Amino acid sequence: MNLNDLLQRLQLVLLYSLLLVCALTGTAIANAATSPTIGGMLPEEALSAGERMYREGILPSGKPMLAFVQGDIPVKGSMFSCESCHLRSGLGSAEGTRIVFPVNAAKLYIPLRHGADIPITPTRDNLSAAFKPGEIRPAYSDESLAQAIWSGQSPTGEMLDETMPRYMLDEAEMAIMVYYLKHLSATFSPGVTDSEIHLATVITEGVPEAKREAVLKTLTAYLKVKNSQNRPQTKRAKRGPWYRQQRFTSYRHLILSVWELTGPAETWQQQLEDFYAADPVFALIGGLSSGKWEPIHNFCEANRLPNIFPLTEQPVVNDQDWYTLYFSKGPFQEGEAAAKFLRGTGIKSTAEKVVQLYQDNPASKRLAAGFSETWKNLGQPEPINLLINADVPLDKAYLQTLTDRYPGASYLVWLDASNFGFINQLAAAEQTGKLIASVPLLGEQVYRLAESARSKAYFTHPERLSENRKLRETVVKKWLQVHKVPIIDMDIQSKVYFIGWMLSGGLKMLSNEYYQDYFLDSLDMMNDEYFSITNYPRVSFGQGQRYAVKGCYIVQLDQSIPPKLVPKSNWVIQ
Amino acid sequence: MRISTSNGLIFCAIFVSLLLTGCAGHDMHAMHKQMLQTPTATTGSIRMFHTPDVTLINQERMPVKLTEVLSDERPVLLQFVYATCTTICPVLSAGFSSLQEKLSEEAVETRFISITIDPEHDNPEILKRYLAKYDAQPGWDFLTGSKKDIDQVMRAFDSYVSNKMSHKPLTFIKVPGESKWLRLNGLMGTQELYNEFRRIHPK
């Protein structure tokens, strides 16, 4: 960044700032907020431009916002933006000893108080000053908000912490910024009343009845526990100490709807829109699909509706979307792990061929895509991709053709259990290098791998190893028994148990700030989870991280009787 | 229920701690108020840290032996950050960016090392994009590795936190020929960090 440019811009901004202070009537900003245009833009355009400034740090001109932080560190909006610290909802964050205050409309334009910002009865006049609710700052006006963003001066006249950047915006840009903040988390999201939070879970047609029951019975039991008021929250809200009232008044009864989607996936969006219009919900919890999840993902993205932990083998994999929090990238993540593992073993030259066999089904194609994309990012040449259609006979002749054509090659074999005989033969063949297949695709068949093939055959294993999940599974089973839920499918039920755990944590973090964006912001700030999750060694969170499970083991069968799967990689392979 | 003397003491202790907890609620808000008004002061100490013998990888996927990179013949600055951090890391990294530019104008060759404390998410590709965002110049590397190795490094530098959201704004500086580090706790401006650097590495 050119320092002279910065200084010139700073002078300009100071001039604007001075003009604004002199014109105490505040006409510039106030007029901007009430006139038909805001910073020269129509209201809708200003909201969109303000959102880009807030989230991406990019000015309407397309240039990055410029600021100084800690007094003299020049920063560009492309380094970090308002959202980085105040989060998408504007409700702020806590990092180490740093507390970032809310900048959403509902909070900025009322006085900031310590303790509850709800009326306190009785008023506690007889308490000493330390125990009384008190005002930290008065409400912001448009003018004082602009002043704080420009110079760091709060409405009390004191200076904000230097960690809050001082932004160099011209008058029009500031009007847009203020206009956006005036609309950011201004009113509670849909699905929340004074006494209830409405949630839904989406189940698609074609899901086996047992799996459907496993999801719904476990989720319903969890909500029943949450609604049982085993800690009498409503009573506490009335009688509790004033500084806890805000937290206790956040208690709401949880209501769960089941949105069943039927017919072709192309019709799901309309069905979802109809459900949402008839029954506005705060968030989608879990969910289960036998096929695509993309239409539901896209609906959530378009409506800014959170969906946490849908159970799907077809999650949408991209790093831009925000509203669906998945367990993992599914089969794609297994492919990624295979590529990183293979690269780490020293397979890198073009002379050593890598052959990928896959089938025309979503899981196999996603495994292949995950491998190919990662392999390419690792600087490796495109593997030889062979689509195994039903008309390709996986017999000895085909095996001979492969080994003749690609001697010494390593194989990614994304074939299902019906082709295990061929995988066994390929792994055992003398001319084969390493071979990697998928445990979820092969299931129990992997234990039938011939001893002669065990040294060369590896498998992707995207879950906690079985010997390490027994204790946690026992905890979930006990919980199910106590709450009279039949044990139907432990894989699903332990995931739903975890979803309930996260729902509790997320709602607790929300306190009584019922904004959909803040629900996801809150989950992003959760601690790593080790003990509440049975299926995976660890799940972790972070701002905008949308795949909580980060790893996938690469395992081999050992020589013990019966053979066991033993990890040959870390859970997360770099 | 009969309460023994020792149980009585325990109950007293719980009662007192409950009272304190009540006060803590108040103190927490007092802290917020104070933070609005005064910047957090930086504290510094000279400390010896034993670098563990681990190999991490940098943003180019190159293996980096930590003992070697931290005993560089140039002055070394070290920070623990992560890519999706709110508040602390963006300011720490912007500070690195600004100081790197300032020192390069003075032609002072310096080694900047950032180590992620979220290694499971922060893969080399993410680290590379992060460095580009902060205009990092050659000489600034961002390292990741296995969670076990990263935890070991954090412990060695008295920086370990079980939850990454609880981490502190730490900067470590070491100059050639010295085995001890200057450990700074706090967010600093460019000049303040430069002054600390010059305090142990004068012109």
* Tens of pLDDT, residues A472-481: 999 999 999 9
The answer to whether the CB atoms of B40 and A161 lie below 8 A apart is: yes
Residue A553 main-chain phi, psi, to 5 deg: -75, 150
Inspect the interface and report whether the beta carbons of B84 and A162 lie closer than 8 Å.
Answer: no
Same structural domain, A449 and A523: no
Same domain, A398 and A500: no
pLDDT of residue A31: 46
Whether pLDDT at A27 is above 90: no
- pLDDT at residue A5 in the model: 53
Same domain, A120 and A201: no
Helices A362-377 and A331-344: crossing angle in degrees, nearest 10, is: 40
Q: How many CB atoms lie within 10 A of CB A236?
A: 17
A571 contacts in B (CB within 8 Å)? 120
Between A92-101, A254-263, A374-383, A520-529, the lowest mean confidence (pLDDT) is in A92-101
- Scanning A355-384 for CB atoms below 8 A from B yields 377-378
Testing the interface with A: which of B91, B137, B146, B149 to mutate, by most A Cβ within 10 A?
Answer: B91
A509 interfaces chain B, CB cutoff of 8 Å: no
Encode pLDDT of A274-300 as tens digits.
Answer: 999 999 999 999 999 999 999 999 999
Token pair belonging to A539:
């799940």
Full domain range(s) for residue A267 = 196-328+469-541
Distance from CA of B5 to the nearest CA of A (A): 30
Tell me which chain B residue has its CA closest to the CA of residue A240: B22
Cα diameter, chain A: 92
* Mean pLDDT (whole number) for B141-166: 94
Residues A308 and A357 in one domain: no
Same-domain check for residues A69 and A165: yes
Name the residue facing B22 among A69, A87, A241 (closest C-beta).
Answer: A241
Residue of B3 and A110 predicted with greater confidence: A110
Asked if the Cβ–Cβ distance from B166 to A115 is below 8 Å, we say no
pLDDT at B11 over 60: no
Task: Tell me the mean pLDDT in the region A235-241.
Answer: 63
Of A96, A99, A158, the CB nearest to B168: A96
The predicted structure's pLDDT at residue A91: 95
CATH superfamily of B43-200: Glutaredoxin (3.40.30.10)
- Asked if residue B49 has pLDDT above 80, the reply is yes
Contact B164, B82 (CB under 8 A): yes
Q: In this structure, are residues A534 and B17 in contact, taking their beta carbons and an 8 Å threshold?
A: no
Residue B65 has pLDDT above 50, yes or no: yes
B25–A244 C-beta distance less than 8 A: yes
pLDDT at residue A521 above 80?
yes
Q: What residues of chain B lie within 8 A of the CB of A528, using their CB?
A: 163-164
CA B102 to chain A, closest CA, distance in angstroms equals 11
- Whether the predicted pLDDT of B133 surpasses 60: yes
Interatomic CA distance for residues B83 and A80, integer angstroms:
11
Do A1 and B135 count as a contact with CB atoms less than 8 A apart?
yes
Whether A190 is in a domain gets the answer no
Q: What is the mean pLDDT of residues B149-177?
A: 93
Mutate to test the interface with B, among A1, A68, A72 (most CBs of B within 10 A): A72
CA distance to partner chain A, nearest, from residue B134 (Å): 6
Q: How far is CA B5 from the centre of its chain?
A: 46
Contact A149, A22 (CB under 8 A): no
Please give the residue of chain A at the shortest CA–CA distance from B93: A79
Q: Is residue A550 part of a domain?
A: no
pLDDT at B203: 84
Q: Looking at the partner chain, which of B120, B166, B187 has a beta carbon nearest the beta carbon of A70?
A: B187
Same domain, A560 and A434: yes
Same domain, A138 and A22: yes
Q: How far is B46 from chain A (nearest CA, A)?
A: 22
Beta-carbon contacts of residue A448 (< 8 Å; ≥ 6 apart): A420, A424
* Number of domains chain A contains: 3
**pLDDT value at residue A37:** 93
Contact A154/B at CB under 8 A: yes
Which of A136, A151, A183 is the last residue before a domain boundary?
A183
> Same structural domain for residues A335 and A349?
yes
Lowest average pLDDT, out of A214-218, A231-235, A423-427, B105-109, goes to: A231-235
Nearest CB to B86; choose among A87, A97, A572: A87
Asked if B135 lies within 8 A of A80 by C-beta distance, the reply is no
**pLDDT higher at A551 or A243:** A551
Cβ separation B88–A95 shorter than 8 A: yes
8 Å CB contact between A539 and A533: yes
Q: Are A446 and A347 in the same domain? A: yes
Chain A residue numbers with beta carbons less than 8 Å from the beta carbon of B86 are: 84-85, 87, 93, 95, 100, 525, 543
Mean pLDDT of chain A: 89
Residue with the larger pLDDT of the pair A113 and B162: B162
Q: Do residues A522 and A305 make contact, with C-beta atoms less than 8 angstroms apart?
A: no
What pLDDT shows up at residue B104? 96
Residues of B with CB below 8 A from A346's CB? none
Give the pLDDT score at A25.
40
Residues A133, A77 within the same domain? yes
Q: Which two tokens stand for residue B29?
A: 């808000």
Say yes or no for a CB contact (<8 Å) between A161 and B39: yes
Please report the pLDDT score of residue B2 as a whole number: 37
DSSP helix/strand/coil, A243: helix
Task: Enumerate residues 6+ apart whose C-beta is below 8 A from A365.
Answer: A358, A359
Residues of chain A with pLDDT > 90: what percent? 74
Q: CA A347, CA A339: separation in Å to the nearest integer?
A: 10
Residue A221 is predicted with a pLDDT of 96
| Contact map slice: A 199-258 vs B, CB within 8 A | 241, 243-244
Band (pLDDT 50/70/90 cuts) for residue A21 is very low
Residues B15-44 have pLDDT tens digits of 333 333 333 332 333 333 333 333 446 788
Q: Which of A93, A551, A574 sits opposite B86 (nearest CB)?
A: A93
Closest CA to A426 of A410, A440, A441, A448: A410
Beta bridge partners of A222: none
Please indicate whether, in this complex, the C-beta atoms of B26 and A158 are within 8 angstroms of each other. no
A545 inside 8 A of chain B by CB: yes
Q: Are A206 and A282 part of one and the same domain? A: yes
**Contact between A96 and B166 using a beta-carbon 8 Å cutoff:** yes
pTM above 0.80, yes or no: yes
Same domain for A30 and A120? yes
Q: How far apart are CA A405 and CA A387, in angstroms?
A: 16
Instruction: State how far residue B39 is from chain A, nearest Cα, in angstroms.
Output: 5
A320 contact residues in B (CB cutoff 8 A):
none
For residues A420 and A438, the answer to whether their CB atoms sit within 8 Å is no
Location of structure tokens 């932080």: A69
- Taking the CA of residue A199 and the nearest CA in chain B, the distance in Å comes to 28
pLDDT of residue A8: 57
Give the best residue of B57, B165, B171, B196 to mutate against chain A (max A CB count within 10 A): B165
Q: Is A74 on the interface with B (CB under 8 A)?
A: yes
| Partner residue opposite B90 with nearest CB, options A72, A84, A115 | A84
Closest to A113 (Cα-Cα) out of A287, A260, A21, A246: A246
- CB-count exposure of residue B44 (10 Å: 0-12, 13-18, 19+): middle
Pairing of strands A253-261, A196-204: parallel
Q: Residue A130: list chain B partners with CB under 8 A.
A: 26, 30
| Pairs of residues, one from chain A and one from chain B, whose beta carbons lie less than 8 Å apart | 157
Spatial separation of the C-alpha atoms in residues A91 and A185, rounded to whole Å: 8
How many CB atoms lie under 10 A from the CB of residue A226? Answer: 18
Per-residue pLDDT, averaged over A413-434, amounts to: 94
Mean pLDDT of A376-388: 94
Token pair in block for residue B149: 């190795």
Chain A neighbors of B123, CB-CB under 8 A: 574
Picking from B36, B167, B189, the nearest residue to A73 by CB comes out as B189
- CA distance linking residue A194 with residue A512, whole number of Å: 10
Angle at B128 between CA A378 and CA B139, to 5 degrees: 115
Q: When comparing pLDDT for B19 and B114, which is higher?
A: B114
Domain assignment of residue A573, yes or no: no
pLDDT of residue A36: 73
Nearest CA-CA distance, residue A262 and chain B, Å:
36
Q: What integer pLDDT is reported at residue B72 of this predicted model?
A: 87
ipTM above 0.85, yes or no: yes
Best CA proximity match to A415, nearest among A406, A424, A404, A407: A424
Q: How confident is the model at residue A544 (pLDDT cuts 50, 70, 90)?
A: very high
Domain-located, residue A216 = yes
Report the CATH number at residue A380. Answer: 3.40.50.2300
Residue A384 has pLDDT above 60, yes or no: yes
Residue A18 class from Cβ within 10 Å (0-12 exposed, 13-18 middle, 19+ buried)?
Answer: exposed
In chain A, which residues have their Cβ closer than 8 Å to the Cβ of B36?
101, 136-137, 154, 158, 160-161
Chain A 36-55, residues with CB within 8 Å of chain B CB atoms: none
Interface contact A99-B120, CB threshold 8 A:
no
* Residue A352 pLDDT exceeds 80: no
